Amino acid sequence: MTPIFAKAFQPLEVHFHPDDCDVRLEPTRVLLCSPDYYEIKDVKNPYMMAGSAMVKEKAVQQWNDLRNLYLALKKEGVLQDVMSIDGIEGCEDMVFAANQSFPWVMWNGEKIAVMSNMKHESRQTEVLYFEDYYKDLKYTIINPQSRGVFEGMGDLLPHPGRKLLYGGHGFRTEASVYDEICRIVDAPIIKLELINEHFYHLDTCFLPLNESEVAIVAEAFSPESLQLIKRMFEGVYEIPIHEAQ
């Protein structure tokens, strides 16, 4: 098998299949952030338009429901641990805990955390608290030198069971940062262009279900990126855009 190098690929440059990539163990620990200080202060995406209503009690209940689901999976032995970092006053968006970092396990077993550089300055403080949390867990902290916008697991998602990553770009994360991050994590990254502002992060429109199946919002992607996804997965389930928005 020809080795797949740690490179950031445009869709038309990809001439390999996920099966050609090395096997990766799926993580069994989940990190959440409490919604204690969650609120809408400004407009960062189309769902936060001026005058948007947010019922804090409902949001907290939804968060608790999600946490309880994870705890049930832990009880069943599916997850090893469900961890939570406390929300911080003044960091109203910190509850969206995918965006501040990208944790990864290297070939030698070393645990690293690639820290984000958020598009909105008001969110950059969140990253520092997550960095401290990872330090306590003995992760190696890495801040990319490029300093381009990078929003962690909001835009960088792994292919299930493989050392292969998909990197969304177009609204938050800048495509150029993947040229450095692929070398940091020593794994190939396939760049996927997002073209619909309602799907500003890759994790809002791209959900790998297993090694061969994925759920997507087709209208979120450029034609080249959509074609690539359909080559990487045998089963591609398209969610109607009116349901996804």
Confidence check: pLDDT of 2 > 60: no
Return the pLDDT at 5: 84
Q: What's the residue count for the chain?
A: 245
Rounded to whole angstroms, the Cα distance separating 53 from 44 reads 14
pLDDT tens for each residue of 12-22: 999 999 999 99
Return the pLDDT at 4: 79
Any domain includes 23: yes
Return the pLDDT at 1: 45
pLDDT tens for each residue of 177-193: 999 999 999 999 999 99
Higher pLDDT, 223 or 120: 223
CA distances from 20 to 58, 167, 181 (A): 44, 18, 20
> Residue 207 forms beta bridges with which residues?
215
Q: What is the DSSP code (8-state) at residue 54? A: -
CA distances from 96 to 21, 108, 152, 224 (A): 30, 30, 11, 29
Return the pLDDT at 42: 67
Any domain includes 2: no
Cβ-proximal residues to 2 (8 Å cutoff; 6+ apart), any chain:
16, 20
pLDDT tens for each residue of 104-142: 999 999 999 999 999 988 899 999 999 999 999 999 999
pLDDT tens for each residue of 19-43: 999 999 999 999 999 999 988 766 6
Q: Quick one: how far is CA 226 from the chain centroid?
A: 18
Higher pLDDT, 198 or 53: 198
Any domain includes 22: yes
Share of the chain above pLDDT 90, in %: 85
Any domain includes 195: yes
Tokens 């009880």 belong to 75
Number of structural domains the chain divides into: 1
Any domain includes 234: yes
Question: What is the extent of the structural domain holding 216?
Answer: 8-244
Any domain includes 183: yes
Any domain includes 149: yes
pLDDT tens for each residue of 51-84: 455 678 888 999 999 999 999 999 999 999 999 9
Which CATH number covers residue 75?
A: 3.75.10.10
Any domain includes 3: no
